[in-house]
Chain A
């Protein structure tokens, strides 16, 4: 409990240090290109409902659906590759071949296949988060000591029972870690993809504000996108506390 309180206090201190420094630098520079944080926060509160909220909803929705696709396809794939050697032998080369491809370079192809709508953005988030999740989960399953499985084999446990009782709870930590890493990249990709074929989303909002030379609005968008990332980071921390208390 005390650790949690300390974490919260540290978080608040870090927030004030960053914003304090930002405020001082903005006052020293004193140019519209670098507005002070208080002006940005006031702008967010005054324009959020009418101008920003819809973009937040679109971006948030794309991230959540993209991550859900990753979870639904990536988690079973990682578990099966980690547990069954034959599946790993077949699929590992495919994963290794595709993993290093910079996913952002696939955007034109994805747009050609899935069009300019939401699906392209969701597929891009899926592509960027899928590979680390699969590889991390596969490795985590392989790292479970053989002795843990022996008593299960001697009981005649089915593969489903072994996956449910041993493997799935055992990979949750690795899953949340890879999601935490993936979310940062997913938001970057989302920002980029939202500049094509849409008029909604934080990526579009930030670049549109930039083109209108509305720097306060642009910084508001960047700050909100950061808060979305922070939200997912905190969410994975909370989920880890709930599902991985053994750590």
Chain B
């Protein structure tokens, strides 16, 4: 985690929520830093607070203790440009693909300030040109994923947050969309946090992998992944090594 300016810094983050009449701690003293222009995956068991952590970073949850900084300033959706791709993509089914993609930039910068050149470029990069007039119900899962990616990127975000964005896709589509994501990321170098429960996905897509424990979630370890961007299994021994290491940490945490 050394070198490069920090884009995201989470210090001693704790989050509680009220369940009936008692408080449940979802995240406890989590610490994490992500360098500018890098992808960090957060993996961990279900209920470990991965999505909660992402909601804190997105400014959706504001009731927490600790410090969460983006580019040195406290998270504020009004001042930061945060692109969020939620589970199930969060597309608006009564808007066309084009209207969905415009939505974020329109809200942030106004209808007349949308960068149309960049929009055209994204359509080309994400192979969406043929679908712009369609509605989300007329798209496949992979196409919806790409639309939500285009919507987040058109915003030119400081930070891109992805919540298990590839989990609903079948294996082949997932590989295609992951590859496309890396190509687009490589062109724009947006600082990204990717929440996933898939070890393979984390190894393929992230330079750093943070392991979060089961509830209450703590960042147990952050490992540097030099197999980032390598197609799964192409560097068998190293891949197996990192895969086993992550499994050990996750299993160890479960036994605790």
Contact = CB atoms under 8 A, between A and B. Distances in A.
Interface of A: 145, 147-157, 161, 165-166, 169-170, 172, 244-246
Interface residues of B, number: 34
21 contacts: A147-B89, A150-B55, A151-B104, A151-B152, A153-B59, A154-B77, A154-B84, A155-B77, A155-B108, A156-B76, A156-B77, A156-B78, A165-B103, A169-B94, A170-B94, A172-B94, A244-B94, A246-B93, A246-B95, A246-B96, A246-B137
Contact of A150 (B60, B76, B106, B155): B60
Contact of B92 (A148, A156, A157, A244): A148
A139 to B, nearest CB: 16
B107 A152 contact: yes
Contacts of B79: 156
B225 interface: no
Contacts, number: 72
Contacts of A154: 58-60, 77, 82-84, 161
Given A161-B107, A246-B135, A148 B59 contact: no
A140 to B, nearest CB: 11
Nearest to B85: A151
Nearest to A158: B107
Contacts of B55: 150
Contacts of B107: 152, 155, 157, 161, 165
Contact of B90 (A147, A156, A169, A244): A147
A161 B82 CA distance: 17
Given A145-B90, A246-B94, A246-B95, 17 more contacts: A147-B90, A148-B92, A150-B55, A150-B58, A150-B90, A151-B83, A151-B90, A151-B151, A154-B59, A154-B83, A154-B84, A155-B107, A156-B77, A156-B78, A161-B107, A245-B135, A246-B135
